[in-house]
Amino acid sequence: MAASANASTINYERFSQHGDLLLAGGVVLILFVMLIPIPTLLMDVMLSMSISLSLLVLVTSMFIKSPLEFSIFPTLLLVTTLFRLALNVATTRLILLHGSEGPDAAGDVIQSFGQFVVGGNYVIGIVIFAILFILNKMVITSGTTRIAEVAARFTLDAMPGKQMAIEADLNAGLLDEKTATMRRETIRREADFYGAMDGAGKFVQGDVMAGLLITIVNITAGILIAVFQNGMSWNDALSTYTLLTVGDGLVSTIPSLIISTAAGIIVSRAAAEAKMGEEFIGQLTSNSKALNLVGCVLLVFALVPGMPFLAFSFFAICMFVIAKLTSNASADVAQRTGAGAGGEQKDGEKAQEALDTPEAVQSLLPLDALELEVGYGLIPLVDEAQDGNLLSRIRTIRRQFALDMGVIIPSLHLRDNLQLKPGQYTVLIKGNEMAGAEILIDHFLAMDPGDARHSIKGIETREPAFNLPALWVPEVQKEEAVLAGYTVVDPSTVIATHLTEVFKRSLADFLGRQEVQSLLDNLAKHAPKAVEELVPNVLTLGAVQKVLQNLVRENISIRDLLTIVETLADYGTSVKNPDVLTEYVRERLARTIVRPYMDQENTLPIIMLDPNVEKTVQESIRQTEGGAYLALDPATAQQVIQAVNSAVENAVVADGQPVILTSPMVRPHLSQLIMRFIPNIPVISQAEIPADIRLNTVGNVGI
């Protein structure tokens, strides 16, 4: 028995592996059926195959739990429709060529439908055919087509929300990458399936109409051929050809009706845990009150004079019996699960107690490091299925920060927020809103770079990243804005640029101890001794974190982490203050610091600090056990800020960016003071300038 079962399994697998060849051969066979005369015996086989295939499709549609389990149905619908039309052509050829030979001229299947099914009466046959046509065309096919259209539309509309939910769960750690990929694939297959079903409904409608037209042509042409070519009387011709044609019409209409019913079943049911039959019985018999009420109504019908008493009484008794069984089953379930009303209550209390435990509450505490909330109007920008490219831009931004700054931006937790306006978005870092703006959908942001040829009309706004004046212009006005000399960007670019600036300002917030440890672990793969010497033998992880935060806060790349670690190991044995250690690291990273600000001639434009200003700042530095700080009075601090701002505005630089040059002792304190008010002005010390770098003084700070 086992060997036989294994052999059957192997044979089935071989059969399945060659399914593509069988399908291709079947489609080619359908084309031959249309073109080549078919013997009556082979015609009977093919008509029987058509009926069998339609029944198989119908029964299969009842046993699936989800439409995706029968995802080939739209394609199968096309193939079966083509098969029935090919059979119609072949049977038409047989009827018209050999109909005068007798009722079996087109085969036993057509003869049986013409003689037995309609009783040999062609009038009855025409009536039955007409009823089946109306039922198929106006009821089943129309309903199926409408359901498919609605299902396709709602499935496509729901795709962005489903995809965002998957991304949110993935970023939150509730899903792994494999499960998320499977769910994305399921959503894609659902959209493809319902989209295909929307179009497949047209096949069904066309098949029904083709069957009617073919029947009319067969009757008309058959009678004319029989009378004028074969010399039959009008009565004999009408009787013979009408019965054959009606039989042929029924043979093709009944499989079409069955396939249409299967299509309606598939598109009209949602995914469920149980099969259709189980749900059908379970839901219809779930309410004992409804069953008792129906039984009473049927009993009243049975007592009405002239009504069939036995039939209505039988079904009334059936309703009462089913109601009793349902009621008893519900009572047994309640008794098993209730346990004196204490079971569920105790389980609920235990569940609530579990939620109240510190461990359960603590699971709610972690915050997402980085979040982007969008209004529903911005969903197309983040939905790649709708050609939204914002997510790919964000991935590019994260990759660029890793290359340029050596900092890994955390994964972005993206979600829609119905409390926001349709075009609004907000950026949150560790639960705190850091930035946000409102975007006009289907518009472009136009900014005047200062040399625009003429002004254009648009909706006035501010560019969110740099707070520059700008205009929202519709897509039809985009070309006009470009020709006028404006810089025009799409909404995705606006958001991506804003995110880039937010990330720059928040790099230090992304360098927690865990992130620093990950960077050190990655460095240890290439330079294990350097990391082993530094942490924890020389410095704590917190001290290293503080130094790295100081560096990125002033827009200095930490990608050369090996140099930073070696410098900290050199000076960390005698110096423990992270701020002082930062200055030593800056001296080692001198070329990295000055490179972004140099012009094309390798010259560094600098703004000198007046000796009086430098002396004032230096005398205001206070040393404590916790470190040094700047104790500058507010009036003097305001004068210094205004002087720096004026010097920067008056500096004439062809390219590059001017930096403020000062002594190593003053540099960190002056930098902290300026950073609060003018965040993009770098402050460097003389010790951070390599010897081969040429300087170009473009300004002076004096008060």
- Per-residue pLDDT tens digits for 292-311: 888 898 888 888 888 888 88
Q: Which two tokens stand for residue 402?
A: 């890793």
- Per-residue pLDDT tens digits for 259-276: 888 888 887 765 455 566
Nearest CA to 560 among 519, 500, 598?
519
Identify the residue with better confidence: 46 or 226: 46
The rounded distance, in Å, linking the Cα atoms of 67 and 634 is: 72
Identify the residue with better confidence: 678 or 523: 523
The rounded distance, in Å, linking the Cα atoms of 359 and 362 is: 5
What pLDDT, on the 0 to 100 scale, is given for residue 307? 82
Calculated CA dihedral for residues 682, 688, 693, 698, nearest 10 degrees: 40
- The answer to whether the CB of 406 falls within 8 A of the CB of 558 is yes
Report the run of H or E that residue 694 belongs to, with start and end.
strand 694-701
The answer to whether the peptide bond before residue 536 is cis (omega within 30 degrees of 0) is yes
What pLDDT, on the 0 to 100 scale, is given for residue 340? 43
Give residue for tokens 């299947």.
109
Give residue for tokens 């086992």.
2
Report the run of H or E that residue 37 belongs to, with start and end.
none
The rounded distance, in Å, linking the Cα atoms of 354 and 285 is: 37
Residue range 440-458: average pLDDT? 88
Percent residues over pLDDT 90 in the chain: 24
- The answer to whether the CB of 430 falls within 8 A of the CB of 509 is yes
- The answer to whether the CB of 54 falls within 8 A of the CB of 255 is yes
- Per-residue pLDDT tens digits for 467-493: 889 999 998 999 999 989 899 999 999
Identify the residue with better confidence: 37 or 359: 37
426 torsion bin: left (phi>0), alpha (psi -120 to 50), beta (else)? beta
What pLDDT, on the 0 to 100 scale, is given for residue 1? 47
The rounded distance, in Å, linking the Cα atoms of 664 and 397 is: 34
What pLDDT, on the 0 to 100 scale, is given for residue 311? 85
Partners of 317 in beta bridges = none
- The answer to whether the CB of 93 falls within 8 A of the CB of 40 is no
> Could you write out the DSSP letters of every residue in 567-604?
HHHHHTTT---HHHHHHHHHHHTHHHHHGGG--TTSEE
Q: What is the mean pLDDT of the chain?
A: 81
CATH architecture entry for 370-508: 3-Layer(aba) Sandwich (3.40)
The rounded distance, in Å, linking the Cα atoms of 118 and 67 is: 36
- Per-residue pLDDT tens digits for 527-549: 999 999 999 889 999 999 999 99
- The answer to whether the CB of 283 falls within 8 A of the CB of 162 is no
Residues 6+ apart with CB under 8 A from 424: 374, 375, 378, 436, 437, 438, 439
- The answer to whether the CB of 38 falls within 8 A of the CB of 95 is no
Q: What is the CATH number of domain 599-703?
A: 3.40.50.12790
- The answer to whether the CB of 173 falls within 8 A of the CB of 367 is no
> Could you write out the DSSP letters of every residue in 466-493?
TTEEEEEEEGGGHHHHHHTT-EEE-HHH
The rounded distance, in Å, linking the Cα atoms of 590 and 696 is: 17
Pairing of strands 659-662, 683-685: parallel
Number of Cβ within a 10 Å radius of residue 456: 17
CATH architecture entry for 511-588: Orthogonal Bundle (1.10)
- Per-residue pLDDT tens digits for 139-152: 777 777 777 777 77
Residues 6+ apart with CB under 8 A from 206: 81
Partners of 471 in beta bridges = 446, 460
Q: If pLDDT is split at 50, 70 and 90, which confidence band does 11 have?
A: low
- The answer to whether the CB of 91 falls within 8 A of the CB of 221 is no
Task: Give the three-state DSSP class for 43.
Answer: helix
- Per-residue pLDDT tens digits for 665-693: 899 999 988 888 888 889 999 999 988 88
Residues 6+ apart with CB under 8 A from 681: 644, 648, 659, 660, 674
Question: How are the residues of the chain apportioned to helix, strand and coil, as percentages rounded to the nearest 5?
Answer: 65, 10, 25
Identify the residue with better confidence: 289 or 365: 289
The rounded distance, in Å, linking the Cα atoms of 250 and 109 is: 10
pTM: 0.53
